[in-house]
Chain A
Amino acid sequence: MADTFTFELVSPERLLISEPVESVVVPGSEGDFQVLAHHAPVLSTLRPGLLDVVLPGGKERRIFVRGGFAEAGPDALTVLAQNAIDSADLNKSALAQEIKNAEEDVSDAKDDETRDKAQGALDGLKLVRDTLGLG
């Protein structure tokens, strides 16, 4: 059995998850990365996307997160997300609304940098939609 580490998911309102896990795939703003136990310390911002959590015993859990950052260390991963919803509870219309907002952000962007950022967020949301088949 693979080593486990502590995974904490925190939203502004409360601590959502704090439990040992085997691995987590984090949607970083510069690209997805997988965190296993004994990971080198990294601090990364997030783009909207899915956290793929593998619990000890191989059970998987998917959580949609939006906005925030992740802090990985050798024995712990902490994700601070502005929004976090279990993918099972994610509904189609809410996601469609998010995508619409993101599209508006892209077209409203005044300079290249903000447009890049907004585009990244939009791509992340679309990827979520396609992965979960909520199109």
Chain B
Amino acid sequence: MPSLKDLRNRIASVKATQKITKAMQMVAAAKLRRAQEAAEAARPYAERMDKVLANLGERVNAQEGASPLLVGTGSDKVHLLVVATAERGLCGGFNSNIARLARTHAKKLLDQGKMVKILCVGRKGRDALRRDMSSNIIDLIDMKAVKKLGFEDADKIGTRVLEMLDNGEFDVCTLFFSEFQSILTQEPTALQLIPVNLPEASESETEQGSQAGYEYEPDEDEILADLLPRNISTQIYRGLLENAASEQGARMTAMDNATRNAGDMIDDLTLLYNRSRQAQITKELIEIVSGAEAL
């Protein structure tokens, strides 16, 4: 049975923790709003890019000698996994969910006798994967210094990936991130970047496109060659933005749970504290009364 003083200390400590989790939840809520706005603002660019690529993809057949970004390098021996996670913890299952998806994927590839290289974006992903895949991790891109995620940050990663492709360091590239569905649900997602899955042009758009009969300047192949690398960066940027929103959403939910849990604990401890105090008072009274009777 803990003494009254111990109980008092514990209640105080849980209260202090609750204050912190409450504050973190509110900060995450504010950041989430901003992250969502950023993701929203980036949408027009990605949508138009998709539309044009879909239009172009139909016209340009995957002939020989086409860009490896479109048709692949011809083999699928070496896989590059770009695993995007957060820089900080305390956000529920967010980081471990992404890491788990990446790990399962990597294990599957390794079982098939493929080579796997992992490029971590964000410290937490590396921490999670380091235990059993440390030999596969080739580098960590630190996002700690990044205050506000800009396109340049994504472009740096994109350029890096393209350089590696040029040097023949991998054949297939997949991006792992968490898709933001709502504050409560974030879906860890794997997106194949290279070779690219061209978005399908919807029926109405194809019709419009062919009716309009676009003139291309320079020709389709060259435009496509210009757009595909750009598309890589755009996709990474989208992934990072989704990730940022997911992280804050996950943290908000986790901290909300923690705050509520702390509240429950405080209630329980307070009840226990009051009972013990009451018990002690009763005990003292009995001692006095029985002492008086004995006289």
Contacts and interface: CB of A to CB of B under 8 A. Distances in A.
Interface residues of B, number: 28
B41 A14 contact: yes
B45 A44 contact: no
B48 A30 contact: no
Contacts of A69: 52, 223, 226-227
The DSSP consensus for interface residues of chain A is: strand
Given A10-B48, A29-B218, A45-B218, A82 B223 contact: no
B234 interface: yes
The DSSP consensus for interface residues of chain B is: helix
A10 B216 CA distance: 20
B237 interface: yes
A78 B48 contact: yes
Contact of B42 (A13, A28, A67): A13
A77 to B, nearest CB: 12
Given A69-B223, A69-B227, A12 B216 contact: no
Contacts of B217: 28-30, 42-45
B49 A80 contact: yes
Chain A interface size range: 20 to 34
Interface of A: 8, 10-15, 28-30, 40-45, 67-69, 71, 73, 78, 80, 82
Interface of B: 38, 41-42, 44-46, 48-49, 52, 150-151, 154-155, 212-218, 222-223, 226-227, 230, 233-234, 237
